[in-house]
């Protein structure tokens, strides 16, 4: 009596030739990013990010945080620190925040058009983009610190303000 193997690799499906071609294309693009020297100036960082997004556009690849980090030659931790203004100047922080915003906008558009499975969409937007479906009472309290004022006609505002201000001397 033979038993079915329970090793994880026993469940792997053999890749077709088309799958292998796709893997080669993806690997070639990633290897090019991997071999690029790490940018040092803000202008080089911006150019590398632009190059990465243009490569995704031309190759049909999905832009993501890990690919962005590979293109920059940095870790996700470094990207996180730059996005929060740590160990970089304000300009680099803004460059990184715009790049992350681009990735988030791409994911959101892909989710809304059904290009990404809804469960994957929820996972990506929550874990990568900070989305949540919770309402924080603290956030609501901060938003309501400034009371909402009903519309008041301009003539009424002028009348009320004149009563609050002292009379100014008149000059001829």
CATH of the domain at 76: 1.10.132
Asked if residue 143 is part of any domain, the answer here is: no
pLDDT of residue 4: 67
Cα distances (Å, whole numbers) of residue 76 to 57, 70, 82 = 22, 9, 10
Domain that holds residue 78: 17-132
Nearest one of 69, 71, 65 to 29, comparing CA atoms: 71
Q: Residues with Cβ < 8 Å from 82, sequence gap 6 or more?
A: 74, 88, 92, 93, 96
Please tell me the predicted confidence (pLDDT) of residue 142. Answer: 62
Map tokens 């915003």 to a residue: 101
Residues of the chain with pLDDT under 50: none
Token digits of residue 86: 């740590």
**Has residue 116 been placed in a domain?**
yes
Residue 104 domain flag:
yes
Structural domains counted in the chain: 1
Residue 36 belongs to some domain of the structure: yes
Which pLDDT score is estimated for 129? 84
Its pTM stands at 0.67
pLDDT value for 134: 77
Q: What is the pLDDT of residue 70?
A: 95
Inside any domain, residue 67: yes
Q: Do residues 67 and 56 make contact, with C-beta atoms less than 8 angstroms apart?
A: yes
């Amino acid at each position: 009596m033979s038993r079915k193997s329970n090793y994880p690799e026993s469940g792997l499906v053999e890749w077709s030739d088309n799958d292998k071609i796709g893997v080669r294309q993806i690997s070639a693009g990633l290897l090019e990013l991997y071999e690029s020297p790490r940018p040092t100036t803000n202008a080089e960082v911006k150019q590398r990010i632009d190059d990465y997004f243009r490569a995704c556009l031309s190759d049909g690849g999905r832009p993501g945080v890990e690919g962005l980090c590979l293109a920059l030659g940095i870790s996700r931790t470094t990207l996180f620190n730059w996005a929060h203004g740590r160990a970089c100047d304000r300009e680099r922080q803004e460059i990184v925040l715009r790049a992350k915003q681009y990735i988030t906008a791409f994911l959101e558009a892909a989710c809304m058009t059904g290009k990404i499975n809804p469960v994957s969409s929820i996972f990506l937007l929550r874990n990568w983009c900070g989305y949540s479906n919770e309402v924080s009472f603290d956030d609501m309290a901060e938003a309501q610190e400034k009371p909402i004022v009903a519309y008041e006609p301009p003539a009424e505002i002028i009348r009320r303000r004149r009563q609050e201000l002292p009379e100014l001397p008149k000059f001829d």
